[in-house]
Amino acid sequence: MITPLEFLVSASLAASTLQFGCAWKALRGNRRSELPADAELPPVSILKPLKGVDDRLLDNLSGFCRLDYPKYEILFCVQGASDPGLRVARKVKESHPEREISIVVADRREGLNPKVNNMIPGYDAAKYPFVLISDSNVAPDSAYLREAMSHFRDPGVGMVSHLVRGVGAKTLGARLESQHLNTFILPSVCLLEAMFSMPCVIGKSMLMRRSDFDALGGFPGVKDYLAEDYILGKRFRAAGKKVVVSPWPVDTVNVYRTVRQFLSRHARWNRMRFSIAGPAYLAELVTNPVGLSVPMVAAAGGTGEAFLFAGLVTAAKMAMDAAMLRRLGERKAARWAFLGPLRDLMGFGLWFSAFFSRNVEWRGQTLRICKGSRLVPVVELLAMEPKTEAAAG
């Protein structure tokens, strides 16, 4: 007789298979059709928020100077003259005098999201009708911008984002990070769009009309949200604008990262997703059959049959992970597929961490993630709590 936990693990494996199928179908459809002619392409302002020196930062930024696009400007946004990323930005500008590059150095503190604070001065200096927000660890190919702009042939499109592929890993933490992007985040985004018509905006690549962005409140409207990308996508859809997630992945580079950094980052993002999804956050657990196998085996008393079932489930999940990594260009996919169960077990534990804390540390300030990923300083929340007076005597 199948126990409830065995049924749950089976359902979880089915959900993972559905995720894999949606991602495979989306990636099969990412052949670029005829791209727009130069006459159809309006100029674009590219905002690149910098904070420190990311892995291969010089190569990442230089890649934006080699885009196959007729007219665009690049604005490197830096918070403070002491940021080491400023030196790299200057080197890129000196190496590419043929490109329209501006370096915007400021120290704005208008909101609680430091990335948004960083981009506000650059956005104020931008001059073109379309704006692309692209993180500093994104490494584009030459057709990236042209492909993104091709979706605006449909006048109903308001924003274009992209699937994200992790590349470049050399350490265990970086490998876990890339596999999480490639075998969980990317398939999850594809599933949400294919099955629920819910395009998931990823902040590493967001292209939009400046006029639409301003009409929806611009950066001031998202300055106090952790998930500013999610909020923007939600507002574009509420305004009747289509949000497109391009099936052509952009590369995000993670070369050197520790396991501790991987765990810390994803504990924070789990809290964020919990604040957004609420009860629907439970669905994430159902897409982790390897993690769910642990309580199943424990409940069965560690019988041989339970371990065999868990082993078969783990092998099936590893096979899907290996196939997805190979589809995304990982030539040594089989070698690294064994990390899948380790990442799934870590993810299982991290999933529960969202229930134990809603606080994050950011630039020396403790912030509470409230509903919808809104950020509030903990000191303000403490000040709002009613004070009790000690009993006299």
Spatial distance between the Cα atoms of 233 and 243, rounded to a whole number of angstroms: 7
**Degrees to nearest 5, angle at CA 248 with 340 and 52:** 70
pLDDT bucket at 325, cuts 50 / 70 / 90: very high
Residue 290 pLDDT > 70: yes
Residue 1 pLDDT > 70: no
Q: What is the mean pLDDT of the chain?
A: 90
pLDDT for res 159 = 97
CA distances, 202 to each of 92, 215, 229, 240 (Å): 26, 21, 6, 19
pLDDT for res 383 = 65
The pTM of the full predicted model, rounded to 2 decimals, is: 0.91
pLDDT for res 384 = 66
> Which comes out higher in pLDDT, residue 357 or 316?
316
Q: What is the mean pLDDT of residues 352-374?
A: 85
Q: Could you give the percent of the chain with pLDDT greater than 70?
A: 93
Q: What is the mean pLDDT of residues 309-332?
A: 92
pLDDT for res 61 = 97
Closest CA to 200 of 163, 170, 249: 163
The interaxial angle of helices 186-196 and 4-28, nearest 10 deg, is: 90
pLDDT for res 388 = 45
pLDDT bucket at 359, cuts 50 / 70 / 90: confident
List pLDDT tens digits, range 61-93: 999 999 999 999 999 999 989 999 999 999 999
pLDDT for res 365 = 75
Please report how many Cα atoms fall inside a 13 Å half-sphere around the Cα of residue 215, on the Cβ side.
12
Residue 382 pLDDT > 90: no
pLDDT bucket at 141, cuts 50 / 70 / 90: very high
Residue 34 pLDDT > 90: no
Residue 251 pLDDT > 80: yes
Long-range interactions of 319-324: CB distance < 8 A, separation 24+: 320/16, 320/17, 320/20, 320/183, 321/179, 321/183, 323/20, 323/24, 324/20, 324/23, 324/24, 324/182, 324/183, 324/186, 324/187
Residue 386 pLDDT > 80: no
List pLDDT tens digits, range 90-123: 999 999 999 999 999 998 888 999 999 999 999 9
pLDDT bucket at 285, cuts 50 / 70 / 90: confident
Spatial distance between the Cα atoms of 116 and 355, rounded to a whole number of angstroms: 27
Domains of the chain: 40-168+195-252 (3.90.550.10)
pLDDT for res 36 = 78
Residue 387 pLDDT > 60: no
pLDDT bucket at 360, cuts 50 / 70 / 90: confident
146-155, 186-195, 305-314, 327-336: which range is least confident on average? 327-336
Query: Do the Cβ atoms of 25 and 194 come closer than 8 Å?
Result: yes
pLDDT for res 389 = 44
pLDDT for res 392 = 41
CA distances, 245 to each of 165, 254, 256, 281, 312 (Å): 13, 22, 28, 22, 34
pLDDT for res 184 = 93
pLDDT bucket at 391, cuts 50 / 70 / 90: very low
